[in-house]
Structure 1
């Protein structure tokens, strides 16, 4: 069970870092 929680946390952290990197590279100026 603890392994599953750690895996989910790792996936969320990776996704968050990816989103931050994309925002820094190309700011979402197209959103209204």
Structure 2
């Protein structure tokens, strides 16, 4: 159960990181007018 919970948390962290990267990429594109 502990391993399963840890795995789920890791997936959530990866999803949050992916969203942050997408937001950063969008802001950079907007700043540079791409």
Please classify the TM superposition score into its range, dividing by the shorter chain length. Answer: 0.7 to 0.9
Count of aligned residue pairs for this structure pair: 27
Measured on the aligned residues, the alpha-carbon RMSD in Å equals 1.2
Offset from partner CA, 1:1-32 (integer Å, 9 cap, x none): 000000000000000000000000007xxxxx
- After TM superposition, the runs of 4+ consecutive aligned structure 1 residues lying more than 3 A away are none
**Structure whose residues are more often helix by fraction:** 2
TM-score, normalisation: structure 1: 0.79
Considering only CA atoms, is the larger Rg found in Structure 1 or Structure 2?
A: 2
- 5+ residue gaps, structure 1: 28-32
